A and B are shown apart, each in its own frame.
Chain A
């Protein structure tokens, strides 16, 4: 066997906590992160420590504790190492971005903690430069410690909209507007279900306070209908709750419609290592859950290796608590996106391949229900470099709404499930040493 006993992919709370727990039980662990630093989505570290975004104290303390544990552990950390998948003989492929080489590892166990990806519902113009995902804008802001420049509009649905808006406001550039698709307001029932996780209530109250002071509370029930370039800026058509349309001229639009596990190509392989997914990569429940789930993943690995771990009751309780909190929070949001019948035919659906809703509609034939595979191959939906991560769900939903009977396609049939899970430079591939030197 070459390589470590356990390989953990992803340097967010789930991956780090899994790695630390495994090392503590005496396992030889390597932790790989694609980016230059650990932290993941929620604990993204600033490029320059003196310039950072204000984050809730609980978040900061959580990451500090975890970083200290990691520093004290035997975990070997490899940054700029990208998980590329598990190939046919079961070897894990890692692309080392520092050296430009592809290497294989054959660990006994593999923990995949690659976090979540954002959902962004298609809207005309969402493919234009200057339109970013809300998380993408937040990544930039957390890294640079500066608010994004220019006039910014935030739209879609989910708690991230408010968090991003408040963080921008604190850094001195509040968004021009925050549009939350869902018309529902915080209710007593939701507040009651969040009492077991008061950190969320405190965090929300803090954000709302900042936004009240900045005068940019979210407009509920409002959404973007189209984005077009205008004089080097973006002209955005916005519809409010009463159905009134207006135009806003901005420099950036940040869109977000919830999160999905980043689980493309993460299925266990029959010849491969024992595989566990952890954190948002398994179930999107946020940072506190990710930490607990990392411990549970470590427990599963230890059990597989025939070792005893520590008691996992605490982690299981935390998971239950977080699951309940997320369920309550989700009732406040509307992740469905625009009704596709209202989207014009020239709306881009698959941005990598530049394919439109009209082209998708033309492929559907009421007399001969084409399959997901046919739509993918012939329509090129999901065939591009992001491997369907940003369009598969919408393509499947459009087609399903068209297939009255029969089996509607699943987004898993459109999204890529094979390795490489991400594009890998050929220059890296050619360095892969043959596993059978006689070859």
Chain B
């Protein structure tokens, strides 16, 4: 028989003082006493979804003194957050409000590191967008110009500079834009850190199916495990948000397949940061396609992970069969990857997985109030950008729910652009 003595919660946190929080002065040490023994707050909030957005909102709302319960139909990070790459990147963003928010999101990660909230979960580095032919080069130059206009530091690499910085790139690479001051964060690690900091309760395997309400005011959530009261509700349900909204085709699943290799050795390529093929910009819709060939939805990113492994991905398919990955797509991604960096061929594929991004009709996230209730908020539709935007969005949701002015202008994401209302079933 296996026996096991319960061990006490071992923490690796430093008990440093955190500053720069407007709503409350707070110590990391205070958060070491999670669920249960926090003082009963006057206001309670139910957060539906334990992805990066819901968990970040839970963190900031509990810091703001709310009594927070997070509900998830599965477990922590069982949605897109647990099956994503983690580019905290401006490089691939569409020019406009999304690019501006991404710039703020990168700064917010840096701030959370400085405050000791996310200690080891963010790795600063550059992204390299590589062009392999003249057509890709023109896309690259246009995109680099737009990034510069958003005051993102860029360095164009050509000739010897290119081979010095990314020697592992194929000889066919003609130029690369080094997008500086970005980083990488693993979604499930970020939420694990927030979970460990505690201050809120998590209900796993507890799907929320609807709400109790009176006079246009939500009074509680109806869950698989019973009905619980709440003074406010935040839907951070990713692709699951469709269930709650009257207009159910507003958010569509966009599947992505990703490949994990074994560790790099002395025999394998070394990149100072992720390599992104210019085609990725096109597949993501960040830049329009010049030709039909370029518009197929295989955008390539070769991401060197901290473990020494590489994450190679990903496809963009309008499908929702998350559990499967297919040989054709994986082989096509790997062919593109080897074309971009031939020595990758020496590594082995150890895992293939896929995730579903929540894509909105206009390609912009939805953050704001849902019509029909005065205390129901939603933050969803982050498609391929939620790891980057997640912590910032959690913070903005907290400000929104607390009735504070938001740090960033998110009017472009406002839910009212779709006149969102609750589904009858919810």
Contact = CB atoms under 8 A, between A and B. Distances in A.
A402 interface: yes
B351 A341 contact: no
A89 B335 CA distance: 19
A400 B4 CA distance: 9
Interface string B1-21: 111111111100000000000
A128 to B, nearest CB: 20
A339 B349 contact: no
Contacts of B76: 370-371, 374
B347 interface: yes
B230 interface: no
Interface in A251-279: none
Contact of A378 (B3, B35, B188, B326): B188
Contacts of B353: 418
Contacts of B5: 341
B405 interface: no
Q: In the complex, which of the residues B3, B202, B348 has the most CB atoms of chain A within 10 Å of its own CB atom? A: B348
B327 A341 contact: no
Contact of A432 (B6, B189, B327): B327
A384 B263 CA distance: 10
A397 interface: yes
B82 interface: yes
A387 B352 CA distance: 12
A351 to B, nearest CB: 14
B369 interface: no
Contact of B327 (A340, A384, A435): A435
Contact of B3 (A339, A367, A368, A427): A339
A268 to B, nearest CB: 13
B55 to A, nearest CB: 12
Interface residues of B, number: 51
A401 B335 CA distance: 45
A434 interface: yes
A57 interface: no
A87 B7 contact: no
Nearest to B6: A366
A88 B348 contact: no
A362 interface: yes
A19 to B, nearest CB: 25
A420 to B, nearest CB: 6
B36 interface: yes
Nearest to A402: B4
Interface string B74-101: 1111100010000000000000000000
Contacts of B348: 385, 423-426
B9 A366 contact: yes
A87 B332 CA distance: 14
B78 A373 contact: yes
Given A371-B204, A426-B338, A89 B349 contact: no
Contacts of B344: 426
Interface string A375-418: 00110000111010000000001101110000000000000101
A104 B327 contact: yes
A365 B9 CA distance: 6
Interface residues of A, number: 50
Given A401-B2, A419-B325, A426-B346, A367 B36 contact: yes
Contacts of A435: 327-328
Given A374-B76, A374-B192, A89 B326 contact: yes
B150 interface: no
Nearest to B5: A341
B389 interface: no
Contacts of B135: none
A93 B326 CA distance: 11
Nearest to B336: A430
Contacts of A189: none
A311 B327 CA distance: 39
Contacts of B229: none
B3 A424 contact: no
A244 interface: no
B35 A88 contact: no
B357 interface: no
A313 to B, nearest CB: 39
B334 interface: yes
Given A367-B35, A371-B204, A374-B75, A340 B3 contact: yes
A374 B191 CA distance: 10
A369 B205 CA distance: 12
A424 B188 CA distance: 26
B2 A340 contact: yes
Given A371-B75, A426-B334, A430-B338, A364 B7 contact: yes
Given A340-B4, A416-B351, A377 B325 contact: no
Contacts of A341: 3-5
B424 interface: no
A398 B2 CA distance: 7
Contacts of A426: 261, 334, 337-338, 344-349
Given A361-B7, A436-B328, A336 B2 contact: yes
A419 B257 CA distance: 13
Nearest to B325: A88
A419 B76 CA distance: 24
A420 B2 contact: no
B350 interface: yes
B352 A420 contact: yes
Contact of A434 (B262, B325, B332): B332
A216 to B, nearest CB: 30
B74 to A, nearest CB: 8
Which 4 A-B pairs have CB atoms at the shortest separation, nearest pair first? A88-B324, A88-B326, A401-B4, A371-B75
28 contacts: A104-B327, A336-B2, A340-B4, A341-B5, A362-B10, A364-B7, A365-B9, A366-B6, A369-B204, A370-B76, A371-B75, A374-B76, A374-B188, A374-B192, A377-B77, A378-B189, A397-B2, A419-B352, A423-B262, A425-B346, A425-B347, A426-B337, A426-B346, A429-B349, A430-B331, A432-B327, A436-B328, A439-B328
Interface of A: 87-89, 91, 93, 102, 104, 336, 339-341, 361-362, 364-371, 373-374, 377-378, 383-385, 387, 397-398, 400-402, 416, 418-420, 423-427, 429-430, 432, 434-436, 439
Given A89-B328, A426-B334, 11 more contacts: A87-B327, A89-B326, A102-B331, A339-B2, A340-B4, A366-B6, A374-B192, A383-B351, A419-B352, A427-B345, A429-B349
